[in-house]
Amino acid sequence: MKVYYDSPGSDLRSNASLNGEYVVIKNTTRTAIDLAGWTLRDKTGY
């Protein structure tokens, strides 16, 4: 899993700035994994 939590440059709340912050979850198995019911949040609850 990779987390990109701080977009480069000034945070102007623009789409470019928001698109610079994301999480990549990669299934490295050959089996499908059901993520239904899972929640991803930061330390503050967002």
pLDDT tens, residue by residue, 1-45: 777 777 777 777 777 677 777 888 899 999 999 999 999 888 888
Alpha helix segments (H runs only) across 1-46: 15-19
pLDDT value at position 10?
74
pLDDT value at position 21?
79
pLDDT value at position 6?
73
CA distance 44 to 27: 26
pLDDT value at position 34?
95
CA distance 15 to 43: 23
pTM value is 0.51
Q: 9 Cβ partners below 8 Å, 6+ apart?
A: 17
